[in-house]
Amino acid sequence: MNTRFVFVGACFVLLALFPLVSGSYGIDFVTKIMVYAIFALSLELLVGATGLICFGQAAFFGIGAYAAVLLSPQSDSPSLLWLLPACVAAAAAYALVVGSLSLRTKGVYFIMVTLAFAQMAYYVVHDTPLGGGTDGIYMMMKPVLGKLLDLDKAASLYGFTLACLLLVFGGLGVLNRSRFGRALAGIRVNEQRMRATGFSTYPYKLAAFTVSGGIAGLAGFLFAVKDGFVNPEMMSWHLSGAVLIMIILGGIGHLRGALIGAFAFALLQELFKSEAIFGAFAKHWHLGLGLSIIASVVFLPRGLVGLPQQIRARLLGAKNTGGATP
Amino acid sequence: MDFSTFLIQCLNALQYGLLLFLVASGLTLIFGIMGVINLAHGSFYMMGAYMAYALAPIVASTFGGGFFSTLLVGVVLAVLLGYVLEWAFFSFLYEREHLQQVLMTYGLILVFEEMRSLLVGDEVHGVEVPAFLSGTLPLGEMMTYPVYRLFISGVCLALALGMYVVFTRTRLGMMIRAGSANREMVQSLGVDIKFLYRVVFAAGMAIAVLAGMVAAPVSSVYPGMGDTVLIICFVVVVIGGIGSIRGALLAALLIGVVDTFGKVLLPQAAGVLVYVLMALILLWKPDGLFKAA
């Protein structure tokens, strides 16, 4: 229990100190990873805490991002005070609609239905001129908070993203320990029994789905502000797949798994893209990424979070509890 | 829209729907029988299309050519590849959770895409319609309809019929159906269930590859084409009811109609229509049209 707190605390301290030693490339890169970490945490609430495998999380991410650009005025900096809540609300609203429909289904249906709803959102921005079609649109002026905070500055954005990450991480930690979180855990473990004990499980799942959509919208907002640009690829199912992989890679069922997974995924991607290491082959970085994903399924069934335990079990000669081989 | 145009669009809808059915049937078979969500199924379709492009000249120079020999070589390759893939990757996944299946097959998509990029490049290619199927049939007074599209529909119908016969009338089909209902029981009756699964997987893959090969002259061949097909096939499978071949057929035809007529009547909303249809059907029947037993 304690080592976990120390680990997570150390992670956040390192993140807070990082800008002191890094150049602008590093700050931008880590900001991106932190945004992905928030995004991954939003999915962890569904998959890890509630046991709902959503394969359309990119839709909420994309809606948060598109809302940020579309709601911003062309010639003036929008205020963070209303823009951020509006983006989160837009994503949460779509999540409420999608959730209310897709939660009527179960298991594989749920996976595929959430995927299909995300595709629906994808085609809306892809095929209509609303958000610039396939080209996407630019965010002219970055949001500000009075004189206090100007998100156009990379360092401010870094700090703000870190604060959001901390807030989401802490918030979900509290939520998981609350009565609501315990109910979600109960649904994950045995929904039938929860219903038998008198819980109406549907509203709980819908609430989790909506909150998750809102957090994904927050991540999308931050991403749009960071890049100053959105395009339909932000809603593509590849991104839904990537974020699912982040949490699986990190370890399902642990908040820090989402954090570790986002970092591991981004670093792996960066590694395989590196021309310094792989030369001309770096163009085919998906190959390395794909193979490492397959390897992680075979060798790390519990994700990176379970790795220390797996190593310990191996060293002690105990039976490998990882269940790597059937 | 006059009558001939209407008829042409109907034939197009039928052709597209049947093609979707072919790919989706493999997806729903592999899920229904082995319980594996195979995201890489769309990649098999893409492989087929690229085979139609890349194999044809090779087959022509070794065997003296011919459209049908290319198809045959493609199917044989697909069966062999399917057999190896099942052994190397998918046999791991039967005991695993859906989540890990999603993860591993997603990894496979990335690998297949890059292999494709390495082997045949990233360009978009057209594939020529074989000469003896390149004509058109008169339809009404002014319109004609390409023979090749009718050929696609014919191939799909023949395969669908073949699958139906295999499933309901043969010993193999009986064992497959029994294996999906109770794996242990069938195994203890002396059926080599591992081999049976491998056969089903290879067949599902071969059908997807064949669909890709046959469709290539109409759809052209481009990177990422597997993704598009995969997602639409998911919709087919969800609407039809997972594991139900009958449902997949009905859903595929429905989507063929909605998509084809949507493109003509409501071009701005064509991409979304299919998903709206799915949402409406799921509101009405959350388990799809035909829930498999």
Between the CA atoms of A141, A147, A148 and A149, what dihedral angle is there, to the nearest 10 degrees? 10
Closest chain A residue to the Cα of B224, Cα to Cα: A238
In a mutagenesis test of the A interface, which of B34, B93, B106, B183 is the best target, namely the one with the most A β-carbons within 10 Å? B106
User: How far is residue B179's CA from residue B187's CA, in Å, rounded to a whole number?
Assistant: 8
Closest residue on chain B to A301 (Cα): B100
- What's the confidence (pLDDT) of residue A39? 97
Per-residue pLDDT of chain B (293 residues; tens, 9 = 90+): 778 888 889 999 999 999 999 999 888 888 888 888 888 999 999 999 999 888 888 888 887 778 888 899 999 999 999 999 999 888 888 878 888 888 889 899 999 999 998 888 888 888 888 888 888 888 777 778 889 999 999 999 999 899 889 888 998 888 888 887 888 888 888 888 888 889 989 999 999 999 999 999 988 898 888 888 988 998 898 888 887 888 899 999 999 999 999 988 888 777 788 888 888 888 788 888 887 55
Among A94, A294, A299, the residue to mutate for chain B (most B Cβ within 10 A)? A294
Contacts of A322 in chain B (CB under 8 A): none
Q: Which of B94, B100, B271 sits opposite A126 (nearest CB)?
A: B271
Chain B positions touching A105 (Cβ under 8 A) are: 282, 286-287
Residue A54 with chain B: CB contacts under 8 Å: none
Judged against a pLDDT cut of 90, whether residue A260 lies above it is answered with yes
Contacts of B268 in chain A (CB under 8 A): 127-128
Distance CA B9, CA A121 (A): 27
pLDDT exceeds cutoff 60 at A318: no
Q: Which of A123, A244, A297 sits opposite B271 (nearest CB)?
A: A123
Q: What is the DSSP string of A65-87?
A: HHHHHHHS-SSSPPBHHHHHHHH
Could you give the maximum distance between any two Cα atoms of chain A, in Å? 66
**CB < 8 Å to B102, chain A:** 53, 55, 111, 241, 244
- The pLDDT value recorded for residue A323 is 46
Q: Which residues of B touch A293 (CB under 8 A)?
A: 103-104, 106-107, 110
Q: Which residue of A has its CA nearest to B267?
A: A127
From residue B113, alpha-carbon distances to A42, B6, B42 in Å are 29, 38, 11
Q: How many CB atoms lie within 10 A of CB A317?
A: 7
The pLDDT, as a whole number, for residue A171 is 96
Q: Which residues of B touch A298 (CB under 8 A)?
A: 92
The pair phi, psi for residue A149, each rounded to 5°, is: -140, 125
Chain B touched by A245 (CB under 8 Å): yes
Question: Which one of B227, B271, B275 has the shortest CB-CB distance to A117?
Answer: B275
Q: How far is B234 from chain A (nearest CA, A)?
A: 6
Percent of chain A surpassing pLDDT 70: 97
Query: Among the residues of chain A, which ranges form H helices?
Result: 2-21, 24-44, 57-71, 80-102, 107-127, 154-177, 179-189, 191-196, 201-227, 237-250, 255-273, 275-278, 285-299, 307-315
Inter-chain touch B272–A237, beta carbons under 8 Å: no
- Closest Cα in chain B to A300: B100
Tens-place pLDDT, residues A168-224:
999 999 999 999 999 999 999 999 999 998 888 999 999 999 999 999 999 999 999
The pLDDT of residue A326: 40
Contact state of A293 with B106 under an 8 Å Cβ cutoff: yes
Q: Of the segments A122-126, A292-296, B19-23, B144-148, which one has the largest average pLDDT value? A: B19-23
Whether B271 and A244 lie within 8 Å, measured CB to CB: no
pLDDT of residue A169: 96
Of B237, B268, B286, the CB nearest to A128: B268
- Nearest residue of B to residue A240 by CA position? B106
Residue A150, strand partner residues: A144
CA–CA separation, A265 and A244 (whole Å): 11
Hey, which residues does B221 pair with through a beta bridge? B125
Average pLDDT, chain A: 88
Interchain contact A299–B (C-beta under 8 A): no
Beta-carbon count within 10 A of B117 CB: 15
A59 touches chain B (CB under 8 A): no
Q: Which residues pair with A149 in a beta bridge?
A: A145
User: Chain A residues with CB inside 8 Å of B282's CB?
Assistant: 101-102, 104-105, 113
Angstroms from A128 CA to nearest CA on chain B: 7
Q: Distance (Å, rounded) from C-alpha B235 to C-alpha B250?
A: 12
Contacts of A253 in chain B (CB under 8 A): none
Q: Which residues contact B190 (CB under 8 A, 6 or more apart)?
A: none
Q: Considering CB atoms only, which of B104, B272, B286 is closest to A104?
A: B286
Task: State the Cα–Cα distance between residues B66 and B63, nearest whole angstrom.
Answer: 8
Q: What is the DSSP annotation of B188-252? A: HTT--HHHHHHHHHHHHHHHHHHHHHHHHHHH-B-TTHHHHHHHHHHHHHHHH-TT-HHHHHHHH
When comparing pLDDT for B132 and A92, which is higher? A92
Task: Give the total residue count for chain A.
Answer: 326
